[in-house]
Chain A
Amino acid sequence: MWTILRPATFIATLLLIAYGVAITEDRADPRWLLVLSVIAVLWYVALRTQFSARLARNAAPLIHVALVLCIGFGLVTVQVLRAQLLDRDRILARAGNPASGVVDIRRYVSDRRTERGRILFRDGTVIARDIVRSDGTRARIYEGVGAYLAGYYSPALFGASGIEARYDDTLSGHAALTWQTWLDGVLHRNQRGNDVILSVDPRLQELGQSLLGDRSGGAVLLDANSGAVLALVTSPGYDPNRLSVPLGASKEEVEGARSYFDALQADGRGPLVLRPIQGLYVPGSTFKTVTAAAAFEFGMARPDTVYRDDGALAIDSRIIIEQNRPDPNRVSYTLQEGYGYSLNVVFAQVGLQVGAQRLEQMARALGFGEAIPFDLPVVPSQLARSPDFLTSQAGIAETAFGQGQLLVTPMQMALVAAAVVRDGTIPQPYLVEEIRRPDGTTVRRHQPVTWRRAFSDSTAQALRDVMVWSVEHGYASGARIEGAVVGGKTGTAEVGSGAPHAWFLGFAERGDKRIVVAVVVEHGGSGAQVALPIGRALLDAALTGG
């Protein structure tokens, strides 16, 4: 009978172990210890009968002693294997969580042996690299315009942010184990992590930064063909050098970084916010592009559809005053003219015609309400904050011309422009173009991906015409570039207090090149006078550059 029961006992104990591991998180959980006790008893019963039958009477006590010790060592084995093979990730995750207060020294020790990879712009400009200081500690330094795009790497105080955090595995060399890294590891040689190359063109980044100057705001310049970010400008920024506290830093250094961080957080202008992707702004008239897209896509209107605009429009109790008419005596305008002259009354009517549901549908198709896939976290843009806002006629009308409860990121608006020049498809934007080994060979190169289709190519064509008309004949005429097809839309977004935000959204095409831009200057005033010149200069530079 024992020939069957004994194997059965061992299978049962294995199942018990599986059950115990499933219900407990820790090796000293009383429930787990209880499971182990049951296992010990099962083993004892199963093995006992085997031995005692065979041996002389006076040897029996010794056999029992041996059995008990055997079972003891067996249980220790189970515990060791559980710790090393089953609980491993759990233990490491627990220690990796900063809230636990545990320092997993081993991780830091291996980090210190590794020279962290560099972060570069596409032309080879290094913005982040490791240096060894005179006291032997390894520190991270950042240089150049737009070094903040790297984020900061601060193992002793804040951890990491930005690209430093997102590509930590790559930069620290943990990602890919090659023969060489293995050998270096075996011999305790210093290792180097891989380099991360950003798609940013430092010339354009510098141009954007200098054009924005001291004013708060942001700009994003995209290659619409690939989705590559050519410039991602924010102002004001911060100095990542002062936030990066290396392992082994002095107390003063740590304190200095802490107080700098506190000052940045207390600064009302929000220098830690990467505006093009984390800043939420009222889009103003640039949003008319989305409204027009909904109208065209759902067949509610065409560029030559005529609307009446006699200077004011009453919707429920709200009266919309028109200030943008080029000629106060003229009362009928096509949708194209309404876009080019930025007529709120016309777009209020387009919006009401389209309706809340279709407007929402178009916004969602363009990526509103979700995190846009990108190398850095992008804050979702929103059509309305309160769910019932778009149930009122006045709410729809205001939203249609870019006010209401709209909040958008410049990145989101740039993608709208990208959809226009790409026949309705939106590229997946990217910042990291390439991962390179220290010896210069490529590990991985970003392959351009289409994120989604926003609208049909006929809608795209109609929007393109409307945007080009706006530059050729409308208020965005300052954006014209010799020898290129340029389309655009300015925006002057009312924001309650202070001067309005100045916006420009545009594209430029020459040959195969298709570039889109979105610029916002906080409280800058008129979009045409403040944001448009920045956008035009960026588009022009991007078209002429390599």
Chain B
Amino acid sequence: MSRLLRPRWLELQLLVVPAAASLVGLLTIYLARNGRTSWSWADLTVSLLFIGVVFLTHFWLTLLRVRSDELLLPIVVMLSCLGLLLSQRLGPAIPHGGVWASLSQRQLVYLLVAFLALGTTVGLVRRFEVLRRLRYTWAVTAIALTIFTMLFGTDLGSGARLWIDLGPVTVQPGEVVKVLLVLFLAGYLDDHRELIASSYRVGPFRLPPLPYLIPLVVMWGLSVLVVVLQNDLGNALLLFGIFLVMLYVVSGRSLYVIAGSLAFAVAVAIALRLFPRVEQRVSIWLNPWSDPTGIGLQPVQADLAFAHGHLLGAGWGFGYPQAIPVVATDYAFAAIGEELGSLGSVAVIALYLLLVMRGLFIAVRIRNSYVRLLSVGLVTVLGLQALIILAGNVRLLPLTGITLPFISAGGSSLITNFVIIGLLLRASEFARD
């Protein structure tokens, strides 16, 4: 039996916790809302469906006989369980005029598709050679998608064209572009690894091989363009951050990182001066109380949400997170802060930290330089994105409209992140001690 199927005991055991959490959490939400203490099995349909898919995924991994990491899936399931509960909780509170299903129904459907995407990724990607060979294809696709979105995209209220309307669903290509970028960079940087790490002397200075750093300049330019055109500091920070991390991992030279960060900071500072929209974001961040019912409404209400949460939180369904506009995507963490309190918030932060550390721990042990670089890039996408939006929620950075991985409502983000996890699961097979 065990020769035929490689049992993933650790994963199976760890999945029990999020499975139970989804049941208890859902019951709490329903019963709290109705003031009852009794429940029927019908109340649990959503959770049971979720649990079913989770364990199906687990058995699919077992069936494929992958030797991948057994911690990644439980962490991700726990986070997406929180996301599902949050959408259940916010579902009735947030009106969904004209959309094809309620918030929680959509989240459930997206989650099912996302798990399917994960399973498919793990099933299809066996070796990474194909991904590597297609590196320029990824780049072209990413650029095409970006241009297409800029030209034909729709604006869902953020002041930037970030979505493509496909009838029943809207897709945010920006999410996919991040992954395509990582796929391209991993291939490109690994190809030119030696050259990028080398240097030559001009008098007393050791200079990097400039021609191979053209991507550095291009990336910088693109990021600044994102800030200016889309007023989207978060995505710019994310794209540039991913690039710097991968460049650093390839070259091992912190000079690149320092120079890149400084150049980016200078560009942002100039953008601040030149574009009032960007400057407004920063001034809301520093002092939302100057206009607490206008542009400062979101951060002020988020502050109140955190304050009402206190140590233990109001409990699922007992807070009033819908007081924060766009809570389901931008301020998901504030809703958790209100209803689960400091303990819940810190636990969520810890889960992300755990995910990122596990991912990097896997990467350290991968000998194949391409797969390793790819893994680092993918982990960085998740880690940086979580960090930037968490920091925005707690006003450590200006708020940006990116999603909180696995928790925020949103199909594109959810599916992309699950594909990332699928790739990481496969990559972890390369890990050797």
Contact = CB atoms under 8 A, between A and B. Distances in A.
Interface of A: 26-30, 33, 36, 55, 58-66, 69-70, 72-73, 75-77, 79-81, 83-85, 87-88, 91-92, 94-95, 100-106, 109, 185-189
A69 B353 contact: yes
B394 A79 contact: yes
Contact of A76 (B33, B310, B391): B391
A24 B306 CA distance: 18
B376 A106 contact: no
A28 B35 contact: no
Given A76-B390, A76-B391, A84 B306 contact: yes
Contact of A70 (B248, B287, B342, B357): B357
Contacts of A104: 304
> Which A-B residue pairs are the 5 nearest by beta carbons?
A79-B394, A91-B307, A83-B306, A106-B320, A105-B323
B32 A73 contact: no
A187 B35 contact: yes
Contact of B376 (A65, A77, A87): A65
A500 B37 CA distance: 69
B360 interface: yes
Nearest to B248: A61
B289 interface: yes
B292 A80 contact: no
B150 interface: no
Contact of B342 (A81, A101, A109, A185): A81
B285 A84 contact: no
B394 A27 contact: yes
16 contacts: A28-B285, A65-B249, A66-B356, A79-B394, A79-B395, A80-B337, A83-B303, A84-B306, A85-B310, A85-B311, A91-B303, A92-B308, A100-B289, A100-B292, A185-B318, A188-B35
Contacts of A102: 292-293, 300, 304
B113 interface: no
Given A62-B364, A65-B248, A106-B320, A77 B349 contact: yes
B380 interface: yes
Given A95-B304, A187-B37, A65 B289 contact: no
Nearest to A87: B307
Given A81-B342, A188-B35, 19 more contacts: A28-B285, A62-B364, A64-B248, A69-B356, A69-B360, A70-B353, A73-B349, A73-B352, A73-B353, A79-B396, A84-B306, A84-B337, A84-B345, A91-B306, A102-B293, A102-B304, A186-B32, A188-B34, A188-B318
Contacts of B208: none
Interface string B34-56: 11110000000000000000000
Given A75-B396, A76-B387, A189-B35, A106 B353 contact: no
B319 interface: yes
A370 B286 CA distance: 44
B91 interface: no
A87 B387 CA distance: 22
Nearest to B308: A106
- Looking at B36, B353, B380, which has the most chain A CB atoms within 10 Å of its CB? B353
A215 B245 CA distance: 84
Tell me which of A29, A85, A102, A105 has the highest count of chain B C-beta atoms within 10 A of its own C-beta.
A102
A354 B245 CA distance: 90
Contacts of A187: 31-32, 35-37
Classify the secondary structure of B's interface with A: helix
B309 interface: yes
Interface in B329-364: 337, 341-342, 345-346, 349, 352-353, 356-357, 360, 363-364
Q: Is the interface of A mostly helix, strand, loop or mixed?
A: helix
Nearest to B323: A105
B264 to A, nearest CB: 15
Contacts of B323: 105-106
Nearest to A95: B304
Contact of B357 (A58, A66, A95): A66
A61 B377 CA distance: 13
B337 A73 contact: no
B315 interface: yes
A22 B356 CA distance: 33
Nearest to B375: A62
Interface string B3-40: 00000000000000000000000000001111111000
Contact of A69 (B252, B292, B345, B383): B383
Interface string B363-387: 1100000000000100010011001
Given A72-B391, A73-B352, A77-B346, A83 B357 contact: no
Nearest to B341: A84
Given A84-B337, A100-B289, A62 B363 contact: yes
Nearest to A109: B320
Nearest to B292: A102
B346 to A, nearest CB: 6
Nearest to A72: B387
A66 B396 contact: no
Contact of B300 (A63, A95, A106, A189): A95
Contacts of A30: 286
A84 B394 CA distance: 10
Given A84-B337, A84-B341, A92-B307, A101 B293 contact: yes
Interface string B311-324: 10001011110010
Contacts of B248: 61, 64-65
Contacts of B254: 64
Contacts of A28: 285-287, 395-396
B306 A62 contact: no
Given A69-B383, A100-B289, A187-B36, A76 B303 contact: no
B431 to A, nearest CB: 13
Contact of B346 (A33, A80, A88): A80
Interface in B212-226: none
A174 to B, nearest CB: 13
A510 B310 CA distance: 57
A81 B307 CA distance: 10
A59 B433 CA distance: 13
A62 B36 contact: no
A30 B396 CA distance: 10
Given A80-B394, A92-B307, A189-B35, A85 B342 contact: yes
A101 to B, nearest CB: 5
A85 B341 CA distance: 10
B289 A94 contact: yes
B394 A83 contact: yes
Contacts of A87: 303, 307
Given A80-B394, A85-B310, A95-B300, A26 B287 contact: yes
A55 B360 CA distance: 14
A88 B357 CA distance: 31
B364 A59 contact: yes
Contacts of B353: 69-70, 73
A106 B320 CA distance: 6
Contacts of B352: 73
Given A26-B287, A61-B248, A84-B311, A69 B387 contact: yes
B358 to A, nearest CB: 10
A65 B292 contact: no
B309 A84 contact: yes
A106 B249 contact: no
Contacts of A186: 32, 315
Nearest to B37: A187
Nearest to B372: A62
A60 B249 CA distance: 9
Contacts of A188: 32-35, 317-318
